[in-house]
Copies of this chain bind each other. A is one copy, B any other.
Amino acid sequence: MKIGFIGLGVMGKPMAKHLVEAGHDVVVYNRSRPSMDELAATGAVAADNLAQVGQTDIVITMLPDSPDVEAVLFHEEGVASTLQPGAVVIDCSTISPQAAGVIGEQLAAAQVDFVDAPVSGGEAGAVNGALAIMMGGDEETVARAQDVLGVFAAAMAHVGPIGSGQLVKAANQMLVAGNIALVAEALSLLQRTDVDVPAAVDVLNGGLASSQVLKAKGPKMLARDFTPGFRLDLHYKDLLIALAACEQAGVAVPIAGMTTQLVQAMRAAGDGGQDHGALIKAVERLSGIPPHKT
């Protein structure tokens, strides 16, 4: 299969590598050159321009936000200028469900199929080929996408029509951020008592309070290791997408709304580049308490 891949960032680079290793002909494009050269060294073709990426069967985009995806596809000399009818575009970026719908319509007008397929699992998931992928689109196109994305997925689900993948990713980001905020509050309480906090985290993970956030982020929050991982700036962007989706659906979400404001507080304090586990600092600042040393 001839596959185009646009966006060789923290996530995109390892995802594209998995495709090359699986034996596909992969044409890669990135704004800056070094990542392209790195991929070329593993057997990919470094494209000179976006139009060249469009001369493939399937194009995968992995970019920061909606305008980035729209630009690479629909810019005058973008991917869509050379895509042939019957080709498939798979967007693995996290963008707004509505933007995904509009992109789908524009591509359909050129007889190009579209799947929104945002991923969850972070850099580790991308490197280990263990991402969770939530796909929106028609049955047949999702099946074609699934064959390709499988090389870097641990879990894949077809969750509805175009835009549905993004809606489920929005829900995912609400749950993750809210869980981090809750764990931050619980740990902030326990750290200011005589409790043996690591022992407490263990027993909490033995019952209904257990969560993947408590397991994966809890120990890092206790060790105050806030190296990203997933940056608060990006999580904030995803939360704004989620809140807009909730507005569109007519659902007020007080917990996700409050959580978003705590993330915004972190950005206001200059900590937007830290891992989302750093949210515990917002809880501490709010009460004017110094960072807890373990």
Q: Give chain A's interface residues, CB within 8 Å of chain B.
A: 97, 120-122, 125, 132-134, 154-161, 163-164, 167-168, 170-176, 178-179, 181-183, 185-190, 192-196, 199-200, 202-204, 206-214, 216, 242, 245-246, 249-256, 258-259, 262, 283, 286-287, 289
Contacts and interface: CB of A to CB of B under 8 A. Distances in A.
Identical copies in the complex: 2
Nearest to A259: B255
A155 B203 contact: yes
Contact of A208 (B186, B189, B192, B212): B212
Nearest to A125: B207
A83 B160 CA distance: 64
Contact of A251 (B122, B173, B245, B283): B283
Contacts of A188: 249, 251, 253
A255 B213 CA distance: 16
Given A167-B193, A182-B255, A189-B245, 19 more contacts: A120-B207, A134-B203, A155-B206, A156-B203, A158-B196, A160-B199, A163-B194, A164-B193, A172-B204, A178-B179, A185-B256, A188-B253, A189-B242, A192-B251, A193-B245, A208-B212, A208-B213, A250-B287, A255-B262
Of A159, A178, A189, A208, most buried by chain B (CB within 10 Å of CB) is A208
Contact of A185 (B209, B255, B289): B255
Which 6 pairs of residues, A with B, have the shortest CB-CB distance? A155-B206, A211-B211, A157-B203, A120-B207, A175-B209, A132-B207
A268 to B, nearest CB: 15
A226 to B, nearest CB: 16
Contact of A203 (B168, B189, B210, B213): B168
B252 A171 contact: no
A196 to B, nearest CB: 5
B189 A249 contact: yes
Contacts of A133: 203
A278 to B, nearest CB: 15
Given A155-B206, A203-B132, A214 B160 contact: no
B171 A287 contact: no
Of A132, A155, A186, A286, most buried by chain B (CB within 10 Å of CB) is A186
A130 to B, nearest CB: 9
Contact of A211 (B185, B186, B210, B245): B210
Given A132-B206, A208-B216, A210-B212, A183 B175 contact: yes
A233 B216 CA distance: 32
A163 B189 CA distance: 14
A203 B161 CA distance: 16
Nearest to A174: B186
B253 A255 contact: no
A179 to B, nearest CB: 7
